[in-house]
Amino acid sequence: MWGQKLKVWILCSALVILHVTFSVLSFGPFDPGGRSGGVLVKENRGVLVKETKILLEPSSCSISDLGIILVHSHAANFDLRASQRKSKKLSESENLKFVFILFQSPSVEATKLVAEHAIHGDILLCDAAESYHSLVYKHIIGLLWTQLNCPHVKYVIKMDDDIYVDFPGLVSVVGKNMVHSSMWMMGLLQIKLPILRNKMSKWAVSEEDFSGHFYPDFLSGWCYVSTPEAVRGILSIVDNEDLFWIDDVWVTGVLAGRAGVELISLNLYYTVYSGHLSCCAADTSLLCPYLAAPSDGDSLLIEQAASQASNCRAGRKDCVKRRTKEQSLLTNCQITNPLFLPSSRVFAEVIVV
pLDDT mean by block of 10 residues, the chain; 353 residues: 47 43 36 42 41 92 97 98 97 96 95 98 94 90 96 97 97 96 97 89 86 95 98 94 92 97 98 95 90 97 95 75 84 82 49 45
CA max distance for the chain: 75
Do 150 and 62 contact (CB within 8 A), yes or no? no
Q: Are residues 278 and 157 part of one domain?
A: no
Judgement on whether residues 243 and 218 belong to the same structural domain of the protein: yes
In a domain, 340, yes or no: no
Which amino acid type is present at position 13? Answer: S
138 with 50, same domain: the answer is yes
337 domain residue, yes or no: no
Using alpha carbons, select from 137, 138, 160, 168 the residue that is nearest to residue 67: 168
pLDDT of residue 351: 44
The parent domain of residue 328 ranges over 274-332
- 278 in the same domain as 257: no
How does strand 123-129 pair with strand 96-104? parallel
pLDDT of residue 341: 64
Nearest to 97 by CA among 72, 119, 64, 126: 64
Judgement on whether residues 227 and 249 belong to the same structural domain of the protein: yes
Answer for the pair 311, 318: CB distance below 8 angstroms, yes or no: yes
Q: Residue 281 in contact with residue 204, Cβ under 8 Å?
A: no
Taking Cα atoms as reference points, which of 92, 8, 98 lies closest to residue 57?
98
DSSP letter at 346 equals: S
- Positive or negative, the CA dihedral 136, 126, 147, 238 is positive
Residue 53: give its domain's CATH number.
3.90.550
What pLDDT, on the 0 to 100 scale, is given for residue 3?
52
Looking at the structure, do residues 244 and 292 belong to the same domain, yes or no? Answer: no
Q: What confidence score (pLDDT) does residue 49 get?
A: 39
Tell me: do 251 and 287 sit in the same domain: no
What is the dihedral sign for C-alpha 259, 265, 266, 272?
A: positive
Of 193, 191, 198, 160, the C-alpha closest to 348 is 198
pLDDT at site 203: 77
Residues 129, 94, single domain; the answer is: yes
Q: Are residues 165 and 190 in the same domain?
A: yes
* Total tally of structural domains belonging to the chain: 2
Q: Give the model's pLDDT for residue 347.
A: 42
Where is the domain boundary, 248, 269, 290?
Answer: 269
Residue 287 lies in a domain: yes
Residue 155: strand pairing partners: 67
Same domain, 279 and 260: no
User: Do both 289 and 318 map to the same domain?
Assistant: yes
